[in-house]
Amino acid sequence: MKSMATRTRERTPAGTAGSGRLLLAGIACAAALSGCGGGNSESVSLGSGQGPDPATVDFPMAYVKRSLPAPPMEFEDDAKVMRAFNVDADLFLRDRASPSVPERNVTQRVTGDTELWDVKDVEGSYDGNLIVFAMRGPIDPNADEEDLPTWGIWEYNRSTDVLRRVIVSDIVAAEGHDVGPHYLPDGRIVFSSTRQRTSRAVLLDESKPQFAALDEDRDEPAFVLHVMDADGTNIRQISFNQSHDRDPSVLANGQIVYTRWDHAPGNDGMHLYRTNPDGTGLELYFGANSHDVPANNVNGGEVQFLQPRALTNGRVMTIVRPFDGTNFGGDVVSIDVDNYVEDTQPTLPNRGVLSGPAQRREVSNEVRLIPDAPSPGGVFSAAFPLQDGTQRMFVSWNQCRLLEGTRIVPCTQDRLNATNPPPVPAPPLYGLWIYDAARGTQLPVVQPEEGVMYTDVVTLQPRTAPPVILDKVSGVDLDSTLVSENVGLLDIRSVYDIDGVSSVPSIAAVADPAQTTAAQRAARFLRIEKAVGIPDEDTRDFRQTAFGVTNFMRDILAYAPIEPDGSVRIKVPANVPLAISILDGNGRRIGPRHNNWLQVRPGEVRQCNGCHNPQNPDPSSVSHGRSNLFAAAYAGATTTGVPFPNTNPTFFTDIGETMAQTRARVSCSTDNCAALNPSVNVVFEDVWTDPVAAGRAPDAAFSWRYADLATPAPTSNECQTRWSALCRITINYERNIHPLWSTPRVTVDPNDPTIVLADNTCTRCHSPVDAANANAVRMPAGQLDFSDGLSPDEADHFNSYRELLFTDNRQRLNMGVLEDECAQTDPVTQVCVAFFTVGPSMSGAGANASGTFFTRFSAGQSHSGYLNAAELRLIAEWLDIGAQYYNNPFDAPLN
């Protein structure tokens, strides 16, 4: 039977392995930081581990030992790619964390001597007896991804020497990739998985096949959090993100802290989030705007927050590193998460008391995190704090080395400063060390070995388990009616509250119908939107032209009126990634798109004070989305048992209530909570104005209903009648928007219907052929062609779509033929080299960014009355969500 070391040497690239000279050079470098570290100002003594085992810790340790890949294979170290494999690897155990204690290969009984497996994400139980980890194999590096085994969760019992896959059933285990396991205090396991169990069920409700939706880079299925019992049963999805939720661990209070890849349009960062084990209470924890601050060292770019772990002092330790380019390496930072949401943004109780920084480096090494460049003080791929009151931690550390030709040399200052050629990092040489910040020492426990990486280190030290947070129970902790409807409640105190400051002179005055009419209020409606999951090519290989001008798809779930004080309290679907938009009186989005995914669990009430200003004068330090960041700008009702000033006396208040909360409470006592129900239609009714007290009549009611369309509605008849969590508004250009242009808009003489008084059908003017003379070519009005037909620029799109949303060549009529109008001709060849252009009249940025189009339909303008209110609303909402060509990948044409 071959040893791991033997297999490693056989697969190591020439010039980097098996050479005693090179190995000695590496160890000699480790003996003195000045020779390796490039002259950093702070130093850590690097010991050799000789003598009476100075690095001994009287607890077992577990770690992963893996071979470096042989060319042309390379490590996949991109934090965005989670199902990738880096063969070959095994889990090793030492009965004491000491250089002199022999190691045991725990997984070899499964991985064998010749097969290729990968192992990662090692974690111990609270009593120190169990080890849980992710393992994948056997792997054929030449096979296609879909033909390979999935990542699975495995567990090793030290006392019984039993190794088992936690999910026993082969069928269930193969449902998705499972990684990042961590024990919960009650013995269950939280992990990250592509199985997306609940999300797949939602797809069936949407009449789509079940599939694992891709992340927002569309590289691989999104990994999201799941929880299962210790025996691998009762698997439940608890997070609902469109990109990865990874690296879960448990905080001292029993909550789960994890890394979330926020990658909705406009975002691309991995921050820390927290949630209860049942998925309730999910919120930003730290770091949305702290990716490039001094505490994260001078690294030349942004870093991401990975591998969070709670420390005994209340801080959270994390590895910070770029997405890729550093061979898994990063810096070790701890964060004061109790008191800060960003490096210099404290929580509300600490406002004006603390100013930061929240982050503190836990190592003295001069770590630089510039992709594909050397770091003088090396880099760290993992850190595991000891729970013994010291400042010691186990680290996987790669010392700085450079590659000169085929020779590995130390990182001297002269070599690091070289520019021609610039220094090239040598292959990684990760060993396992005990880092003692108090003593300033770094002692080897597992010596680095050429061609091998030691990673994912943990100690199996018994420790006190955090308190158990019980899953909320329907009928006890959660409203059973909401649970049965598979909805939660979204409760916004006031949309006029922007980061704790009122955006209007007085919210109370805006809410008072005697002082402010509905038309004078900026915010009138709330729209709830949902991400559309994108399948992989095996599920639906559709053409990428389906996205049109926007690189994502959206469904609309519901609309609700915003009450006069800016408050909202409505039902929203549970277990889907949600976004909200604030709309004006025309039903058009105000401001940029909401670029973070929210979620509610069935029966959960999601509350927030208000909204966030993305144009904050100091956006680098201000975050929103954690519950204790800002005081509410709106106090709500000032008395109990009386109505809000000058409003309907039916709605009597409880002190502190918002209008939405009052209306919902009264509605639940009188009409089956109808006020909580949103709608697929945009409906306004002034239920608040008291004519006597306000001294004026209520504002006029109106509605924009899909039933008023002569073209196909983008939702079902059932949803137009009664909203439920299953309702979806899915707008496709060809089905829902393009038919508007040819819909007849004819006014006839009421006394003689054969007499046409006016014909405002869009294509009557916006087409290249005269309606009265099919043989007469003409210039389409406004250079816009709305007639049927495919675009000459993109055959997958109708010409009208391209003309509305893309810059086009200006045309002219020349001897009965339409031709592009030349702006510049080459004087020699007489060939046109530049054309006059016409800008688009619509924008995928939204309806209010498409003023050129909508202005024509305003009162008194040239097209006033040509489209009805329901049609204008349909166009506006389609533009607001991105003006996609399709918003359902299963409607799009296949490749």
CA-CA distances (angstroms) from residue 161 to 117, 231, 400, 583? 20, 17, 38, 61
Q: What is the mean pLDDT of residues 692-706?
A: 97
Instruction: Note the pLDDT of residue 74.
Output: 74
758-767 tens-digit pLDDT: 999 999 999 9
Is 80 exceeded by the pLDDT of residue 7?
Answer: no
pLDDT, tens digit, for every residue of 12-26? 333 333 333 222 233
What are the tens digits of pLDDT across the range 780-810? 999 999 999 999 999 999 999 999 999 999 9
Peptide bond into 889 cis (omega under 30): no
C-alpha closest to that of 356 among 272, 310, 266, 294: 294
**With 0-12 CB in 10 A as exposed, 13-18 as middle and 19+ as buried, what is 129?**
middle
The average pLDDT across 850-879 equals 94
Which uninterrupted H or E stretch holds 661?
A: helix 659-670
The mean-pLDDT minimum among 137-151, 266-280, 637-651, 706-720 falls in 137-151
Who has greater pLDDT, 607 or 595? 607
**CA-wise closest residue to 394 among 328, 316, 460, 321:** 460
Query: Quick one: pLDDT band at residue 294, thresholds 50, 70, 90?
Result: low
For residue 494, pLDDT over 50 is answered with yes
Read off the amino acid at residue 88. D
Distance CA 64, CA 122 (A): 8
> How much of the chain, in percent, has pLDDT values that exceed 70?
91
**Whether the Cβ atoms of residue 363 and residue 382 lie closer than 8 Å to each other:** no
- Centre a 10 Å sphere on the Cβ of residue 380 and count the other Cβ atoms it contains: 28
Write down the pLDDT at residue 8: 34
Residue 803's pLDDT is 94
Q: Of 52-56, 648-652, 717-721, which gets the smallest average pLDDT?
A: 52-56
**Angle (CA) 27 29 35, round 5°:** 170
Query: Token pair of 865, please?
Result: 């009355």
pLDDT tens, residue by residue, 530-549: 999 999 999 999 999 999 99
What confidence score (pLDDT) does residue 6 get? Answer: 32
Instruction: Provide the CA 419 distance to its chain's centre, in angstroms.
Output: 39
Listed in sequence order, the residues at least 6 apart from 863 whose beta carbon sits closer than 8 Å to its beta carbon are 760, 856, 857
Which pLDDT value is given to residue 292? 84
SS3 295: helix
Q: Is the pLDDT of residue 1 over 50?
A: no
**Residue 326: burial class (beta carbons within 10 Å; 0-12, 13-18, 19+):** buried
Q: Is the dihedral of CA 496, 499, 500, 504 positive or negative?
A: negative
Mean pLDDT confidence for 581-592: 94
**Tens digit of each residue's pLDDT (9 = 90 or more) over 767-783:** 998 877 767 899 999 99
In angstroms, rounded to a whole number, what is the distance separating the alpha carbons of residues 239 and 224? 6
Q: What's the whole-number mean pLDDT along residues 740-750? A: 93
- Largest Cα span, the chain: 111
pLDDT band at 439 (very low <50, low <70, confident <90, very high): confident
Mean pLDDT of the chain: 90
Q: How many CB atoms lie within 10 A of CB 814?
A: 9
- Rounded to the nearest angstrom, the gap between the alpha carbon of residue 466 and the centroid of all alpha carbons in its chain is 28
State which H helix or E strand residue 64 sits in: strand 61-67
For residue 338, the Cα-to-chain-centroid distance in whole angstroms is: 23
Q: Which helix (H) or strand (E) holds 203?
A: helix 197-205
Confidence bin at 633 (pLDDT 50/70/90): very high
DSSP code at position 137: -
Instruction: Supply the pLDDT for residue 71.
Output: 67
Average pLDDT over residues 643-662: 97
Quick check: helix, strand or coil at residue 413?
A: helix
What average pLDDT does range 613-628 have in this prediction? 70
Q: Which two tokens stand for residue 417?
A: 């400063």
Band (pLDDT 50/70/90 cuts) for residue 72 is low
pLDDT on residue 13: 33
Please compute the mean of the pLDDT values over residues 859-883 and round it to a whole number. Answer: 96
Given a cut of 60, whether residue 843 has pLDDT beyond it is: yes
Residue owning tokens 């965005």: 80
- Residue 37 binned pLDDT confidence (cut-offs 50, 70, 90): very low
3-state DSSP assignment of residue 272: strand
Q: 66-92 as b/e, with b when 16 or more CB fall inside 10 Å?
A: bbbbeeeeebebebbebbebbbbbbbb
CA pair distance 86, 76, nearest whole angstrom: 7
Task: Give the mean pLDDT of 124-143.
Answer: 95
Cβ atoms 319, 381 nearer than 8 A: yes
**What does the pLDDT look like over 370-411, one tens digit per residue?**
999 999 999 999 999 998 888 899 999 999 999 998 899 999
Given CA atoms 80, 85, 91, 96 in this order, what sign does their dihedral have? negative
| Arithmetic mean of pLDDT, 277-304 | 83
Give dist(CA 664, CA 570) in Å, integer. 8
Please state, in angstroms and rounded to a whole number, the distance separating the CA atoms of residues 239 and 232. 18
Residue 680's nearest CA partner among 714, 646, 653 is: 714
If you average pLDDT over residues 257-282, what whole number do you get? 96
In this prediction, residue 43 has a pLDDT band, given cuts at 50, 70 and 90, of low
User: Is residue 44 very low, low, confident or very high in pLDDT (cuts 50, 70, 90)?
Assistant: low
Residue 31's pLDDT is 31
Task: Between 591 and 717, name the one with better pLDDT.
Answer: 717
Burial class (CB in 10 A: 0-12, 13-18, 19+), 241: buried
When pLDDT is averaged across residues 308-330 and rounded to a whole number, the result is 94
H helices, E strands: number in the chain: 17, 49
Residue 183: is its pLDDT beyond 60? yes
826 residue type, one letter: D
User: What DSSP string runs through 582-634?
Assistant: EE-TTS-B-SSPP-S-B---TT-EEEES-B--TT-S-TTT----STTSS--S-
| Res. 122 pLDDT band, cuts 50 70 90 | very high
| pLDDT tens column, 81-115 | 999 988 889 999 999 988 999 999 999 999 998 89
- CA–CA separation, 435 and 188 (whole Å): 31
- The span from the first CA to the last CA of the chain, in angstroms, equals 49
d(CA 521, CA 819): 48
* Model pLDDT, residue 266: 85
Mind listing the pLDDT tens digit for each residue in 138-171? 998 888 888 899 999 999 999 999 999 999 999 9
CB atoms inside a 10 Å sphere around CB 372: 12
Greater pLDDT, 616 or 591: 591
CB of 819 closer than 8 Å to CB of 807: no
Count the alpha carbons within 13 Å of 524 in the hemisphere toward its beta carbon: 23
The pLDDT score that the predictor gives to residue 438 is 86
* DSSP-derived secondary structure for 764-831: HHSSSEETTEEEEE-PPGGG---SSSB-SS-TTSBHHHHHHHS-EE-EEEETTEEEEPEEEE-TTT--
pLDDT on residue 299: 52
Residue 850: other Cβ atoms inside 10 A: 23
Predicted confidence (pLDDT) at residue 650 exceeds the cutoff of 60? yes
Of 66, 77, 11, 5, the residue nearest 454 (C-alpha):
66
Residue 576: CB atoms within 10 Å: 24
pLDDT in tens, 202-253: 999 999 999 999 999 999 999 999 999 999 999 999 999 999 999 999 999 9
Q: Which residue has the tokens 């079940």?
A: 210
Q: Would you state the pLDDT for residue 430?
A: 95
Distance CA 713, CA 706 (A): 6
Q: Is the alpha carbon torsion for 583, 586, 591, 595 positive or negative? A: positive
The number of CA neighbours under 13 Å toward the Cβ of 159 is 5
CA distance 832 to 194: 53
Query: Where in the chain are the domains?
Result: 480-730, 734-880
pLDDT at 425: 93
Write down the pLDDT at residue 160: 97
State the Rg of the chain over Cα.
31
CA atoms of 73 and 11, how far apart (whole Å): 11
How far apart are alpha carbons 798 and 778 in whole angstroms?
Answer: 20
Residue 890: pLDDT band (50, 70, 90) is very high
Q: What was the pLDDT predicted at 9?
A: 30
